[in-house]
Amino acid sequence: MKRREFLRRLGVGSLAAMGFSRFALAQARPVKLAALLPLTGPFAFAGNAGREGFVDGVDYVNEVLGGIAGRKLELIVEDTGYDVAKGTAAFNRVLSRERPDELLFVYGDSTGLSKALAPEIARIGLPYSATSFANELADPEKYPTIFVFGPTYNDMMEALLRQIRLQKGKARIALVYSNTEFGRDPIPYVKERAKALGMEVVHEEVTPPAFTDATPVVLNLRRANPDFVLLQGYALSAEPLILRAAREQGLRAQFMGTYYSAELVLIQRAGPAAEGFTVTYHNPYWYDTLVPAVDEMRKFRQRKGRDSSYRPTYYMGSLAVALGVAEAMRRAAQAGKLTRAGVVEYLEKIGDYNAMGLVRGYQFVNHRIPYTKLYRASVKDGRFNAITDWLKLA
């Protein structure tokens, strides 16, 4: 080969190689999902369990389901410390660092943070969900890219009120809730709905999100003498205290709570006082081994050498979000629409998918999944047992 011919071939070869490597790189570019979670602070227990759910979900998608149409799904995790300012900073950090065509979904933390970020999320068309089930977020007209992966707090209260009506027609109910966005969110709805159902709201107690002595709260309840007490906005910080104080003070009312009270640690902390505590919950528990997802994830964790003992509800919730989002991404990719808008479009179209039973089905109605079950605490079993099948709430 002549020298000139050799150089020409070398040049062409190099250019081709560069082109191919770029092409290969473009193919290999990951699709990213960011989770802004409270890894430190008062809700670190929930944030870390949630992180585990996302890690497992993303690993499962990459290793078992083959990624997102051949592209790797990458998880970005940032700590919010359950603080709106820190969470906003983390959100801005992730958005400024990541390419819009790669970062296709953000999962945030808390009602406060989500409400604060919602207008910006809507402006940039970013698919988003959060630990929050606030009613305001499930509004596709106002926030077309925000999804609530479960029933809203209003829906959860609706389920509890229906159960109350079944047990006692003209019930006297009391509301105990924290003075936070999380606590206040469903209260106007409950009051209105209870009235419509012929119930009487006999007492309303607004408290800080965490306190150390529930005696005054329970004494106020005792004076009001309700049949049912609905708790909202605590995430295990106060429920065990209230239940124990209620038992001590001889309050006979039945206590009920929503998703964030549905964790086994409540039974462990409250002891016998937890008996009969009724909650809404919309994913399977880790001990529901008949659900294929639970069995599959137990085996997956064992294969990965990860602890396969009880995983909390926050883990199950995050896992359900990760698998649901990945499915929407996969379908969007198959349709050649793997963009933020494409993910939103396909999240609205995956009603036939249920992530091996992690949810009843991703059937979003007004961008929330309005189905839940009711569970009742059994101290003897040390767990919550389902007392209803799926309740349709919209």
Residues at the interface with another protein (CB under 8 A): 39-42, 44-45, 47-49, 179, 205-208, 210-213, 215-217, 219-220, 223, 236-237, 240-241, 244-245, 248-250, 265, 268-269
Kindly tell me which of 229 and 359 has the beta carbon lying closer to another protein: 229
Q: What's the closest the beta carbon of residue 112 comes to another protein, in angstroms?
A: 15
CB-nearer residue toward another protein: 96 or 212: 212
CB of 193 to another protein, least distance (A): 23
Nearer to another protein, 105 or 314 (CB): 314
Distances (CA, A) of 41 to 44, 77, 124, 211, 269: 5, 16, 30, 16, 20
User: Which is nearest to 58 in space by CA: 264, 314, 327?
Assistant: 327
In the complex with another protein, the residue whose CB is nearer, 39 or 323, is 39
**Residue 383: CB minimum distance to another protein, A:** 15
Nearer Cβ to another protein (48/372):
48
Smaller CB separation from another protein, 147 or 259? 259
Q: How far is it, in rounded angstroms, from Cα 107 to Cα 145?
A: 12
Nearest approach, Cβ of 89 to another protein (angstroms)? 17
State the nearest-atom distance from the C-beta of 39 to another protein, in Å. Answer: 7
Q: How far is the CB of 180 from another protein (least distance, A)?
A: 11
